[in-house]
A and B are shown apart, each in its own frame.
Chain A
Amino acid sequence: MQGKKTRWLTYAMALVFSLSMVSAGVAADKEIRIGAVYPLTGNLASTGLDCLHGAELAVDIINGKYPDLSLPLAKTAGLPNLGGAKIKLITADTKGEPRNGQAEAERLVTQEKVVGMIGAYQSAVTKTASQATERLRIPYVCSDSSSPTLTERGLKYFFRVSPHDAGFARDQLQFLKDIEKARGVKIRTIAVLYENTEFGSNVGKQVLALAPEYGFKVVADISYTANATDVTSEVGRLIRANPDVLMHASYITDAILFTKTFKEMGFHPKGLLTFAGYIEPGYLPAVKADANGIIVRSTFALDLAKSKPLVAKVNALFKKKYGIDMSENAARSFGAPFVIADAINRAKTTEAEAVVKALLATNIPGSELIYPWKGIQFDPKSHQNVYARGILVQIQNQKYVTVWPFESAAAKVIWPFPAWAGRK
């Protein structure tokens, strides 16, 4: 038997609880609110923050006057066609969980009244978040998720600026063909090593499917558990397979552990081609010289400044604001705000249908980008940027240096992979 008070207390609690849910989000007139969802707590928090910083800097540049930057909307304050309206980034944390991606996207649209969406980083979260914006009819411009499936869904409001894993996999294989020609070497066998979350398995699938087309024999196909405590058995299998080249898709934790274990067990292929984790900002400080010689796929490198002065200027701004050099993640996320702001500016309204129309007509030239692309134009069907392509960077003297495509290379690629011994 419970007391009377208890029951009324419960009732009161239910009431307070219901009332607390009704919180209003009122948007100011002169600002254009763009939602940004990233994993800001949990395992990927470090990466999520890095992405967010890239997007924040982009918004600063759009909103302020930067006459010496050739980026879209940099020279004027705000969006000129909308009376100088400013972009405001409304950020939300997904904790890296797909269900929060959906919930946060819906909250940002319905309560925070955002008119466009960027972000998510993890493809699984981008999937649910963009599905939510699709239902709510809000344009979503993604420049940081790389799963090919995202642009295969036929969504009307979803656009992707950056290249996807199938493209990246092709780049890596093409690079091997190019190096064979350039150095007169023969590469016969490759091993594919990938972590078994959505990202890694997708890369693995692409490489496995494409390798025969380029004439390489896959001698090991190893999928492993992400965030492992120890990877000596995986490396043991690689040593057993003895491939000419290893292709490895991982997030940062495994990238660090594998690099250490490769060295410890003396696994030494001719080439180490990698994805994602090897280019995150925490990776290089953690392994230092042991990373020298590793090749990573990228969309960006600081040494692109040699042919693109814009890169150096943007990096200087980034360094001023956050105290570190711009990483590949930050650089990728840096792209989306420009694309969406440019479309809104040309549409002269934030009304979704008009913005989508403007997005489809996007034509940003390569000179206005920090990436080594011909520009940004979306495929009318898939909404994938047709000019998006990857570059390969190699870690040389503990710096990321562009080595491929050979015509935009900042340095000659070091091939084969240098010996482990005697690194400093």
Chain B
Amino acid sequence: MEKTAFRRIAPGAAVLAALLVFPHFVKGSFPMHVMIMTFMFAMLGVAWNLLGGYAAMFSFGQAAFFGIGAYTSTILLMYYNVNPWIGLFAGGALAALTGAAIGIPCSNLRGHYFAIASIAFAEIVRIQFNNWKFVAAAEGLSLPLLPASLRNFMFHTTKAPYYYIMLAFLALSLLLCRYVSTNRMGFYLRAVKESHEVAKGMGISFVRYRLYAIMISAFLTAMAGTFYAQYILYIDPESVLILPISVQIVLVAMLGGAGTILGPVIGAAILVPLSEYTRVWLGYKGTGLDMMIYGALIMLISAYQPKGVWGMLTSIGKRAK
């Protein structure tokens, strides 16, 4: 009995320990950057999963929440001198409210209609920011360089603090996702996913839980947005609000395995390093070969391993038993 428990925890603990000591062994900034981006997309994938994985609301508009998070904290910092950590929560709250505002009219949309509506919504947000003088429109915002400290959420000479912050964010999202999925809310969401008709019988509560899911997802996505702004120190609509970001988030969740807690993490751990390193190895020639490989991989995995890599691993595990 105890041995089983150990076996269950050991691999997870080992991975976590390896991740915790990683910055002490790898000094190059690029591997660190790849890891940070991996964590960030894993977190975004986990947030998406609450919508798409559990409730079958396939959102292709997560970039809107990401951008709202990035812009809110940055505007607060630049114009009103508000600490980015407070900005982080302000951005999250604003994104959650926006999510609710768009989620109420869209809650009766299903499947592809929801997907297209989310694209339309995110594009409207992007176009608005791109023309909005208050947020410097297309010129974008360069964050003021403050002294490096945890309080300022800004570090200049090392990436390690960014690494640990993002890892903590990811852990937080995973715990939240786990909590939701084992909770009554997870049950309701899955019920909606299985059958709209049955869920309708449950009355108003399913709309309410769908709304909760959108709000939590938007909040987490906006947190990652604030992180991005503090990490890159420059944001513009072209880098935080565009459709390819939303698509990347969906791909991460789907390839890893939608509807599973760890799926998006696996997806990010494959896709992000793949796209970063193929760019490094092949992209400099400008032939498009790197993206060809990326595209081929996506289409082959989704056609031949539609349950994602996590699903594939699980079935291998089952067969081995």
Q: Which A residues contact B (CB, under 8 angstroms)?
A: 2-11, 13-15, 17-18, 20-23, 38, 40-41, 45, 48-49, 52, 91-93, 95, 97-100, 102-104, 106-107, 109-111, 124, 127-128, 131, 135, 147, 149, 153, 196-198, 200-202, 223, 225
Contact = CB atoms under 8 A, between A and B. Distances in A.
Interface stretch (B77-85, B186-194, B199-207, B310-318): B310-318
A3 B236 contact: no
Given A48-B286, A91-B284, A20 B273 contact: yes
B279 A106 contact: no
A198 B34 contact: no
Contacts of B174: none
Given A3-B321, A45-B286, A22 B26 contact: yes
Contacts, number: 157
B124 interface: no
A11 B286 contact: no
A9 B286 contact: no
B247 interface: no
Given A21-B273, A196-B130, A10 B15 contact: yes
Given A5-B316, A93-B279, A49 B7 contact: no
Interface of B: 7, 11-12, 14-15, 18-19, 22, 26, 28-31, 33-35, 37, 127, 130-131, 137-140, 142, 156-157, 228, 232-234, 236, 238-239, 266, 269, 273, 276-277, 279-280, 283-286, 288, 290-291, 313-314, 316-321
B81 to A, nearest CB: 20
14 contacts: A7-B7, A10-B11, A13-B269, A14-B15, A21-B35, A22-B26, A45-B286, A95-B279, A98-B234, A124-B140, A124-B239, A128-B232, A147-B139, A196-B131
Specify which of B18, B35, B37, B233 lies most central, judged by the most chain A CB atoms within 10 Å of its CB: B233
B33 A103 contact: yes
Nearest to A48: B286
Dominant SS among interface residues on chain A: helix
Contact of B139 (A2, A45, A198): A198
Contacts of A8: 11
B139 A3 contact: no
A183 B282 CA distance: 54
Nearest to A45: B286
Dominant SS among interface residues on chain B: helix
B163 to A, nearest CB: 12
Specify which of A92, A103, A111 lies most central, judged by the most chain B CB atoms within 10 Å of its CB: A103
Contact of A21 (B14, B34, B286, B320): B34
Given A18-B18, A92-B283, A107-B30, A10 B321 contact: no
Given A10-B266, A10-B313, 11 more contacts: A3-B316, A6-B314, A10-B11, A14-B15, A17-B273, A21-B31, A98-B238, A127-B142, A198-B138, A198-B238, A202-B139
A64 B141 CA distance: 43
A88 to B, nearest CB: 13
B294 to A, nearest CB: 10
Nearest to B14: A11
A17 B138 contact: no
A92 B280 contact: yes
A131 to B, nearest CB: 6
Contact of B291 (A41, A153, A197): A41
A11 B30 contact: no
A240 to B, nearest CB: 21
A223 to B, nearest CB: 7
Contacts of A10: 11, 15, 266, 313
Contacts of B28: 22, 107, 110-111
A196 B284 contact: no
Contacts of B33: 103, 106-107
A234 to B, nearest CB: 14
A407 B138 CA distance: 37
B31 A2 contact: no
Nearest to B25: A22
A4 B232 contact: no
A247 B290 CA distance: 38
B138 A5 contact: no
Specify which of B12, B280, B319 lies most central, judged by the most chain A CB atoms within 10 Å of its CB: B280
Contacts of A131: 142, 233-234
For the complex of A and B, the 5 pairs showing the least CB-CB separation, nearest first, are A3-B317, A6-B317, A93-B283, A40-B286, A107-B30
